[in-house]
Structure 1
Amino acid sequence: MATSASSKDDWADIFLSAALEPEKWGQAIHAMAQATGSRHGQLIGFGAGASAFNWISEIDDSILAKSASIEQSAPDLNFRVAADRLPDRPAIVHEAHYDIARRSLRADDYLDLCSDFDIFDGCQSKLVASDHQMIGLALLRGSKDGRTTEGQRALFADIAGHARTAVRLQQAIEQQGFALLAGTFEAMDRACWLLDATGRVGGMTPRAENLLSTSRIRVSDGWLASDRADETRAILRAVRTVIEPPGRAADPVALADADGGVAIMLEFYPLPVRPWALPFAPRAIAIARVGAPSDRHVQLLTRTFRLTPAEADIAIRLAAGQSRPDIAAARGVSAATLKVQLRSIYDKTGCQRESQLVRIVGLISH
């Protein structure tokens, strides 16, 4: 059912409802399009990784797949992005600015998209802008709609103010999830980092914060990293795995100690994503296990070297620096049984010395 509005109070209510019940964003941008005589309303976000989203009212869903193949945030491809970067451009960018921006495009990919879906004209405004992210509101108009009039742009400007307030409210609500989840993990006494839709750290537990000052793990420009380039690359690969759709658990990343063993095991898991969620909510969790075996690391070793789960557990404990007596005690086996199991591990991995085994275990997840 369409939503209509006739006053500022109506628009405030429509967008307040969208912030509190995000599934109503579709109704809100559809009402905006109707009120301005436009074919479509759009709420769009650009950013690193999976923070990008594109919600368009009343349009063929195939546009999402086609637009995904275009680098929409590139100003030399997308004239709407280029128009927003023009000097002295107003708060509401419109067709006059699009005309200028189209002259400097290096390819016709986005122009072809606009032609296919008849969305050449319209106007737009930024709602949120930062170094890492932009969320914008737009009208997309077809050939029958014509160019926006001054009156339509004035109404759009008023609506954009309400939409901006709604986005900020939803941002505040979603970011509360970081505090709530961090509190839960704090109670579990875990070193945990919560990642947003860009993959950046949005919150952490006290134990995780302490680990930043006592280990090689660090947060650089919001990203979880190590002071070793190879480990940082492995971390970023794992982050992409849990953040990018469909979002799945990543293979653990082992951070080596000075001797090449496993000092810290980082595990990455995606969180459920609500439909119509903006990029501010927690999207993934990174958990550090210090000197402890990892179930997923055990699975990696069993797949790679055909170790039994018990053998993989022993190999990880050995690589984490645990002594043979401690491993035997933890496993509940005798020293003789442990010796037999270690011999089998060496045979399966092709190692001749303990130091070789430690290095293999430490680097297997890279």
Structure 2
Amino acid sequence: MGESHTLFNWVTDIQEGYVEDFLAIGGHRPDVNYRVAASRRPGELVWEHHYDEVRAAAGNDIYIDHVQRWDAEHGAQLVLADNPDAFFGLAALHSASDGRTTEGQRSALLAAAPHVMAAIRLQGAMEHQGAELLRGSLDAMRTAAILLDAGGRVRSVTEAAEQLLAPDTLHIRAGSIRAARPDLDRALQMRIGLALASRQAMPSELWLQSPQGPMLIEICALPRQDWNFGFAPSAIVTLKAPLGFTGGQGARLSSALQLTRAEGEIVALLAQGHSRQEIALLRSVSAQTVSSQLRTIFQKAGVNREAELVSIARAVIEMGSR
């Protein structure tokens, strides 16, 4: 509840319309909700005694009306974990007929807390493992991809994507993927936010200029998973290699045509439409060196002309992308 403020919230025996009402009053805010304002450090129990203190100091009629309307004014709570990645708490909401909590009920809540926290850790481990399994599959397909959780935080980065990241273009800072240019970064964050909010699988495209040429960034939501705590991959950001970046293509061509790694990268650049002069500039060598390397490549590949080599190279690349 509360959009990005609380990505997972489960309430037993909830009445229809409660969540909508909670969101409408901004129930996640400490200046509105006396329960939030009364929260303490992890493991410290809070109950009606503390609620009364907050309400006496700065009561908020909006939330009081809310809990009275939904008959959940009393109760007890404690924070289980509070860190940059996630917040977890446990609470018991009491109706007017339940009355204020007793010492025995509060002790039961404290006794349950370690078991709940153990379940949370297990669920978190499973979701992190799921992210790693997905990253492994993407790595096997040589896909340049970055996996984001429900809060937009980076969970995994494939090797191909790491090669495309750079401080002056696209990078990861404080657990978030950011563009160096402020205007592009605003557009990137907006698209990531929309993908996470709508959870629609249609990709959103964004172009970024890198030193090697234009790079296509695609942001796409992954299918929603019920009963997850937000650590599981919720969106994928894929990067399409800019011109001049050969990535896995060079290695694939080297293997297919029995070339050295350097020769495979030259062939990949040719297949991308670069001239010999451009290849020399990209590889920081002379045009004569590139021409000499191409003569060796022609012999190894069994061709006589550059056009033949490019045709074979594109066929090999196309086979690998299927």
Task: Verify same fold: TM over 0.5.
Answer: yes
Asked if structure 1 preserves the Cα contact closer than 8 Å seen for 2:135 and 2:158, the reply is yes
SS in 2 for 1:124: strand
Which has the greater radius of gyration? Answer: 2
Asked if structure 2 preserves the Cα contact closer than 8 Å seen for 1:177 and 1:281, the reply is yes
SS in 2 for 1:53: coil
SS in 1 for 2:38: helix
2:37 aligned with 1:76: no
Structure 1 residue 108: deviation in Å? 2.9
Q: Residues 50 and 82 of structure 1: is their aligned pair in 2 closer, same or farther, counting only changes over 3 Å?
A: closer
State which drifts further: 226-235 or 283-292.
283-292
User: Which letter does structure 2 place at the counterpart of 1:61?
Assistant: E
2:92 aligned with 1:113: no
Who is 2:230 aligned against? 279
Match of 1:172 among 113, 122, 125: 125
Asked if structure 2 preserves the Cα contact closer than 8 Å seen for 1:50 and 1:245, the reply is no
Who is 2:80 aligned against? 127
Match of 1:221 among 161, 174, 177: 174
Matches within 5 A, 1:283-294: 283-291=234-242
Who is 2:116 aligned against? 163
Who is 2:311 aligned against? none
2:185 aligned with 1:232: yes
Asked if structure 2 preserves the Cα contact closer than 8 Å seen for 1:265 and 1:291, the reply is yes
SS in 2 for 1:54: coil
User: Which letter does structure 2 place at the counterpart of 1:175?
Assistant: H
Structure 1 residue 207: deviation in Å? 1.7
Structure 1 residue 148: deviation in Å? 0.8
Q: Residues 83 and 162 of structure 1: is their aligned pair in 2 closer, same or farther, counting only changes over 3 Å?
A: same
**Paired residues, what number?**
250
Structure 1 residue 161: deviation in Å? 1.2
2:205 aligned with 1:252: yes
Which whole-Å CA distance do the structure 2 matches of 1:90 and 1:51 have between them? 20
SS in 2 for 1:76: coil
Asked if structure 1 preserves the Cα contact closer than 8 Å seen for 2:34 and 2:59, the reply is no
Asked if structure 2 preserves the Cα contact closer than 8 Å seen for 1:49 and 1:240, the reply is no
Which whole-Å CA distance do the structure 2 matches of 1:108 and 1:262 have between them? 58
Asked if structure 2 preserves the Cα contact closer than 8 Å seen for 1:95 and 1:122, the reply is yes
Q: Pairwise CA RMSD of aligned residues?
A: 2.8
Which whole-Å CA distance do the structure 1 matches of 2:188 and 2:181 have between them? 11
Runs of 5+ unmatched residues, structure 2: 244-271, 276-306, 308-322
Match of 2:22 among 64, 67, 73: 67
Who is 1:153 aligned against? 106
Which whole-Å CA distance do the structure 2 matches of 1:168 and 1:125 have between them? 17
Q: Residues 217 and 135 of structure 1: is their aligned pair in 2 closer, same or farther, counting only changes over 3 Å?
A: same
2:216 aligned with 1:265: yes
SS in 1 for 2:217: strand
Runs of 5+ unmatched residues, structure 1: 1-44, 293-320, 330-366
Structure 1 residue 111: deviation in Å? 2.0
With a CA cutoff of 8 Å and minimum separation of 6, indicate the structure with the bigger relative contact order: 1
Q: Residues 220 and 266 of structure 1: is their aligned pair in 2 closer, same or farther, counting only changes over 3 Å?
A: same
Asked if structure 1 preserves the Cα contact closer than 8 Å seen for 2:8 and 2:228, the reply is no
Which whole-Å CA distance do the structure 1 matches of 2:96 and 2:24 have between them? 24
Structure 1 residue 104: deviation in Å? 4.5
Which whole-Å CA distance do the structure 2 matches of 1:106 and 1:245 have between them? 35
Which whole-Å CA distance do the structure 2 matches of 1:114 and 1:193 have between them? 42
